[in-house]
């Protein structure tokens, strides 16, 4: 069982987490949801299309202009409070590595802290424990926040992923984070080259078999672009193919830009696996 905010998700239930970037320089949307109005519209659309979680980020993952703690708080806290007011049942996640931001957004109503830089600030897990929030534990290969990988090398990339994420997850539980509110994430692209990201995808069952729910953030990432030699805006097909494989292998939560398309892929895989009946079954019955 996975419990986040007011929601409980069954053992085989797949969950869509919609990305809402409160940044002017996102690699994908280039600031389309930086302002409150478009960002709130994005949340409403995502929920209508089947997202159970919205993931709000105030700092671009890659290199760029410095964003202070105060500016990250300004971009996220009031917005979290308004999303909480408008959508009381949606799970609100905030993508941050800073404990000061984590504290402020939890005060505003966030349910989940997406620690995408893998424990760079150890106090963030303490914040999650103190507020009863969930935590995403991500593998980054030790990369510092907002840096790109340079000659990343592993003897066994999945062994490193497991060692790191399981240690982060157990530490979080030891601090008081509920075990059923902790997820692990292999960190596609983070501290990895394209071959590493492809390998951790092929070997996702090794993460699933640990019993921790697995979150994957695949959407339009560089490993998809390099694999198919496609620019950012032409990576949807590759993303959805990777999503289908990840779902077949047992990943539970999908952090995405395209909610409706992802939800259809996840539902189709669930039906192929025998866990979901067809929405309509008229063929051959007339």
* Cα 131 to Cα 15: distance, rounded to the nearest angstrom: 23
Measured torsion, CA atoms of residues 168, 4, 32, 38, in degrees rounded to the nearest 10: -160
In this structure, the dihedral spanned by the alpha carbons of residues 49, 61, 65 and 84, taken in order and rounded to 10 degrees, is: 40
Tell if the pTM clears 0.95, that is, is over it: yes
CA proximity to 41, closest of 89, 81, 79: 79
What pLDDT is stored for residue 27 in this prediction? 75
| Domain at 2-272, CATH from 3.30.300.90, 3.20.20.20, 1.20.810.10, 3.40.50.10470 | 3.20.20.20
User: What pLDDT score was predicted for residue 226?
Assistant: 98
N-to-C CA span, the chain: 40
Query: pLDDT tens digits for 221-232?
Result: 999 999 999 999
Domain locations along the chain: 2-272
Calculate the average pLDDT of the chain: 96
Residue 235 a catalytic site member? no
Query: Region 1-29: what's the mean pLDDT?
Result: 93
Q: Is 255 a catalytic residue?
A: yes
Report the pLDDT value the prediction gives residue 154, as an integer from 0 to 100.
98
Q: What is the mean pLDDT of residues 131-135?
A: 98
Q: Of residues 221, 235, 252, 263, which has the active-site annotation?
A: 221
* pLDDT one-digit tens code per residue, 39-82: 999 999 999 999 999 999 999 999 998 999 999 999 999 999 99
d(CA 79, CA 108) in angstroms, rounded, equals 9
Cite the DSSP H helix spans in the chain.
Answer: 36-48, 69-86, 99-108, 123-131, 157-175, 194-202, 204-208, 222-228, 236-249, 259-272
As a whole number, mean pLDDT of residues 167-180 equals 98
What are the pLDDT digits (tens) for 80-130? 999 999 999 999 999 999 999 999 999 999 999 999 999 999 999 999 999
Which whole number is the average pLDDT over 6-24?
A: 96
Handedness of CA 25, 26, 29, 35 (dihedral sign): negative
């Amino acid at each position: 069982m996975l419990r986040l905010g007011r929601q409980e998700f069954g053992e085989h239930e797949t969950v869509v987490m919609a990305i809402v970037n409160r940044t002017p320089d996102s690699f994908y949307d280039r600031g389309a949801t930086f302002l409150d109005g478009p960002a709130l519209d994005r949340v409403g659309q995502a929920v209508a299309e089947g997202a159970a979680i919205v993931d709000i980020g105030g700092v671009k993952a890659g290199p760029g202009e410095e964003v202070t703690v105060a500016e990250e708080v300004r971009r996220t806290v009031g917005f979290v409070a308004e999303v909480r007011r408008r959508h009381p049942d949606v799970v609100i996640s905030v993508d941050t590595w800073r404990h000061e931001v984590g504290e402020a957004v939890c005060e505003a109503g966030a349910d989940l802290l997406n620690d995408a830089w893998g424990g760079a600030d150890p106090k963030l897990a303490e914040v999650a424990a103190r507020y009863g929030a969930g935590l995403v534990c991500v593998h980054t290969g030790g990369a510092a926040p907002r840096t790109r990988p340079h000659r990343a090398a592993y003897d066994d990339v999945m062994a490193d992923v497991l060692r790191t994420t399981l240690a982060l997850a157990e530490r979080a539980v030891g601090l008081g984070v509920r075990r059923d509110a902790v997820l692990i994430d292999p960190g596609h692209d983070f501290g990895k080259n394209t071959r590493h990201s492809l390998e951790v995808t092929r070997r996702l069952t090794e993460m699933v078999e640990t019993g921790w729910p697995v979150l994957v953030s695949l959407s339009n990432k560089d490993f998809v672009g390099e694999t198919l030699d496609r620019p950012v805006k032409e990576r949807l097909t590759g993303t959805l193919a990777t999503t289908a494989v990840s779902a077949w292998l047992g990943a539970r939560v999908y952090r995405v830009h395209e909610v409706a398309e992802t939800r259809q892929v996840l539902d189709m895989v669930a039906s192929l696996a025998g866990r979901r009946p067809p929405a309509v079954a008229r063929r051959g019955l007339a």
